[in-house]
C-alpha cells in the first residue's frame, strides 16, 4: 500500500478530530484502530489506567519511551498542568514525523518534547540536555527488551529518585519477563499489576506500576 499505517492514522485524525481538542484526537485514533486497522497504541482500556496513574502522580516531568503515533503522549499531556511537560523518545523517524503532527493537531505541542533516537543513547544526556533533575513518571512503551536495561540506566544516571513512578505497558503481551522479575523482586520498588487487555483485542495484557522507594 502506498501510505503507511501511521500516515493512515494521521489522516483519520485530520478527518475526524477537531484541532486543539485532545479528546477528539484520542477518540479518532481509537475508532480507527478498533474498526479499521489495529495499531500498537496503548488504547482506550489501558489508556484509562494510564490516565488514573497520571492524575494520581500529577507529575511535573514525564519521560515516555516509545512515542509511535503520539496517542499516549496526547493522553498524558492533556492531563498535565501548565509548566509540566512530557519528554518522549521515538526511534523510528517516520513514526516521529507522524507523532509531531498528531501532537500539533491536539494543540499540546507546548507540553511535549519529542526526541528522535534510541533510549540507550539519549538517557545519559537527559540531565545535561533538558535540565531534568529526576522524572516523576516514566511510561515504558518501547522495545520490550529495553525495559530492564533502560530502567537500570535511568537509576545509574540519577533520573529515578524516591517516589518516581514507573508505568510499563505490555508486560504480558508482547511481554517483558526480565523487567517484571526485576521490579517485583527488588527491595527498592513497590510494584502492582493492573490487569487489562492488549489494545483493541481480547488478549490479556496489563500495566505494571512500580514506585521507587529510594536506596
State the residues that interact with ligand 76B by CB under 6 A: 40, 65-66, 68, 89-91, 118-119, 141-143, 146, 169-170, 173-174, 198-199
Can you tell me which of 106, 119, 170, 196 binds Mg ion, judged by CB under 5 A? 170
Query: Cell 521490579 sits at which residue?
Result: 183
Distance, CA of 180 to CA of 141 (rounded, Å): 14
104 an active-site residue? Answer: no
Report the half-sphere exposure of 93 (CA within 13 A, side-chain side): 0
141 an active-site residue? Answer: yes
Distance, CA of 179 to CA of 99 (rounded, Å): 27
Number of CB atoms found within 10 A of residue 158's CB: 11
List 30, 64, 150, 169, catalytic entry = 169
144 an active-site residue? Answer: yes
Query: Cell 482500556 sits at which residue?
Result: 45
Closest CA to 138 of 110, 118, 119, 111: 119
Q: Which stretch binds Mg ion (CB under 5 A): 51-59, 97-105, 125-133, 161-169?
A: 161-169
Closest residue to bound Mg ion by CB:
169
List 30, 44, 150, 170, catalytic entry = 170
The residues that are catalytic are 141, 144, 169-170, 199
Contacts with Mg ion by CB under 5 A lie at 141, 169-170
Amino acid at each position: 500500500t502506498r501510505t503507511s499505517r501511521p500516515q493512515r492514522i494521521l489522516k483519520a485524525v485530520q478527518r475526524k478530530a477537531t484541532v486543539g481538542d485532545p479528546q477528539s484526537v484520542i477518540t479518532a485514533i481509537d475508532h480507527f484502530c478498533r474498526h479499521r486497522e489495529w495499531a500498537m497504541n496503548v488504547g482506550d482500556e489501558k489508556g484509562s489506567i494510564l490516565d488514573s496513574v497520571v492524575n494520581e502522580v500529577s507529575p511535573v516531568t514525564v519521560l515516555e519511551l516509545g512515542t509511535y503515533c503520539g496517542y499516549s503522549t496526547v493522553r498524558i499531556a492533556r492531563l498535565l498542568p501548565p509548566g509540566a511537560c512530557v519528554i518522549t523518545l521515538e526511534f523510528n523517524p517516520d513514526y516521529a514525523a507522524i507523532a509531531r503532527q498528531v501532537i500539533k493537531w491536539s494543540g499540546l505541542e507546548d507540553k511535549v518534547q519529542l526526541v528522535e533516537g534510541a533510549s540507550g543513547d539519549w538517557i545519559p544526556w537527559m540531565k545535561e540536555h533538558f535540565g531534568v533533575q529526576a522524572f516523576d513518571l516514566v511510561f515504558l512503551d518501547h522495545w520490550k527488551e529495553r525495559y530492564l536495561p533502560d530502567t537500570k540506566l535511568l537509576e545509574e544516571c540519577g533520573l529515578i529518585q524516591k517516589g518516581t513512578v514507573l508505568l510499563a505497558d505490555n508486560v504480558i503481551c508482547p511481554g517483558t519477563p526480565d523487567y517484571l522479575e526485576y521490579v517485583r523482586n527488588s527491595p527498592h520498588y513497590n510494584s502492582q499489576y493492573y490487569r487489562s487487555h492488549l489494545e483493541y483485542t481480547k488478549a490479556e495484557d496489563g500495566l505494571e506500576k512500580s514506585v521507587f522507594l529510594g536506596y
